[in-house]
Structure 1
Amino acid sequence: MKIKFLLVLTSLFFFLSACSKDDSEVADTLETPVANPAKDVKDGGFKAKWNYVSNSKSYLLDVSTSENFATLIPNYNSKEVTDLNEVVVGLAGGTQYYYRVRAKNQTQISDYSNIISVVTTGSSNIPEDPTFLKVKVNKLTNPFFIGMAIKASQLSSGSPYDIILKNEFSSISAEYEMKMDQISTASGVYNWTVADKIVAYGNANGINVHGHALVWHNSVPQWLKDFSGTDAEFKAEVKKYITAVVTHYAGKVKSWDVVNEAVDDNGGTMRNTIFLQRMGANYVKDCFQWAKDAAIAADDSSLLLFYNDYATSTNIPKQDKVFSIVDDLKASNLIDGVGFQMHNTYLSPTKAQIETDINKAVVKGLKIHVSELDIQVNQSNDISTFTNERRLAQKEKYKEIVKIYNALPAANKYALTVWGMKDNESWIPFSTELNHPGNDWPLLYDSNFAIKSSHTGFLEGLD
Structure 2
Amino acid sequence: MRLPTSTLLALLPLASCQLDYWAKKAGLKYFGAATDTPGFRERAPFPQSYSKYDAIFADPKEFGQTTPTNGQKWLFTEPEPGVFNFTEGEVVAGLAAATGKILRCHALVWHSQLAPWVETTEWTPDALRAAIKRHVAGVAGHWKGRCYAWDVVNEALDEDGTYRKSVFYNVLGDEYIKLAFQAAAEADPGAKLYYNDYGIERPASVKTAGAKRIVKLLKDAGIRIDGVGMQAHLHADNHPTMQDHVDTMEAYAALGVEEIAFTELDVRIKVPVTPKNETKLAWQKESYQFVAEACVRVKACVGITLWDFYDPFSWIPDVFPDNGSALLWFEDFTKHPAYDGIVDTFKRLAANGTRAVTTRRFRA
Shared fold (TM-score, shorter chain, > 0.5): yes
1:282 alignment counterpart: 175
Q: Is the 8 A contact 2:68 2:93 kept in 1?
A: no
- Residue deviations 1:355-403 (CA, integer Å, cap 9, x gap): 221111222342011001111221xx5x454511112221122111101
Q: Is the 8 A contact 1:148 1:421 kept in 2?
A: yes
Matched, 1:186 2:80: yes
Q: What secondary structure is seen at the aligned counterpart in 2 of 1:319?
A: helix
Structure 2: gaps (5+ residues): 1-14, 42-47, 349-364
Matched, 1:401 2:291: yes
Matched, 1:226 2:120: yes
1:311 alignment counterpart: 199
d(CA) in 1 for partners of 2:18, 2:219: 36
d(CA) in 2 for partners of 1:139, 1:439: 33
2:28 alignment counterpart: 143
Q: Is the 8 A contact 2:106 2:151 kept in 1?
A: yes
Q: Call closer, same or farther: CA 1:439–1:323 in 2, change over 3 Å.
A: closer
Q: Call closer, same or farther: CA 1:139–1:281 in 2, change over 3 Å.
A: closer
Between Structure 1 and Structure 2, the one with more helix by share is 2
Q: CA deviation at 1:405?
A: 0.6
Q: What secondary structure is seen at the aligned counterpart in 1 of 2:228?
A: strand
d(CA) in 2 for partners of 1:448, 1:357: 36
d(CA) in 1 for partners of 2:336, 2:305: 17
Q: Call closer, same or farther: CA 1:135–1:352 in 2, change over 3 Å.
A: closer
Kindly report structure 1 stretches of 4+ aligned residues shifted beyond 6 Å: none
Structure 1: gaps (5+ residues): 1-128, 296-300
The partner residue of 1:415 within 274, 279, 303 is 303
Tell me the amino acid that sits aligned with residue 389 of structure 1: T
Task: Return the TM-score normalized by structure 2.
Answer: 0.82
Q: What secondary structure is seen at the aligned counterpart in 2 of 1:214?
A: strand
The partner residue of 1:368 within 223, 238, 260 is 260
Matched, 1:429 2:322: no
Q: What secondary structure is seen at the aligned counterpart in 1 of 2:324?
A: coil
Number of aligned residue pairs: give it: 319
Q: Is the 8 A contact 1:134 1:169 kept in 2?
A: yes
d(CA) in 1 for partners of 2:186, 2:273: 51
Q: CA deviation at 1:263?
A: 1.0
Q: Is the 8 A contact 2:240 2:287 kept in 1?
A: no
d(CA) in 2 for partners of 1:393, 1:320: 27
Q: Which has the higher contact order (CA 8 A, sep 6+)?
A: 2
d(CA) in 2 for partners of 1:131, 1:187: 44
Tell me the amino acid that sits aligned with residue 147 of structure 2: V
Q: Percent sequence identity over matched residues?
A: 28
